[in-house]
Amino acid sequence: MLLNSGPTQIPLLESAASAPENNNHYHGQTDLFQLAGILGERTIKNHAFQDGNKRTALIATDMFLKINGVKLIDNGMERAHSLISVAENKWTAEELSEYYRSIAKPMRVESGGKDGREM
């Protein structure tokens, strides 16, 4: 049972969540994978949760990319190791973004095309 599973530093979580938008607006970053890498790195490094920052980054980046029409294809463990590498300062946001780019596939939309569900 997770009693205190919520964020301990809400401003840091908000900062991480807004990092892609801020980088797009203030730095002109438009590359989807760079923005996902920034989101993942900031979620891990801001350490808004006592535990679960890498898991949160995994889910946040996955949803960010899916919302933007991309799904990541890997065995799950590879992605977990990539986030551990970020946490241990072995990878930068840019290296994470290149990893995402290497395992990305466009999501297919059903023939109706309006709901964006995967086929």
Token representation of residue 5: 């599973």
Question: Where does residue 101 rank: exposed (0-12), middle (13-18), buried (19+ CB within 10 A)?
Answer: middle
Going along the chain from its start, the domains and CATH numbers come out as: 10-106 (1.20.120.1870)
The CA dihedral of 116, 36, 72, 80, to the nearest 10 degrees, is: -140
Show pLDDT as tens, one digit a residue, over the chain (119 residues).
455 667 888 999 999 999 999 999 999 999 999 999 999 999 999 999 999 999 999 999 999 999 999 999 988 799 999 999 999 999 999 999 999 999 999 998 665 555 555 44
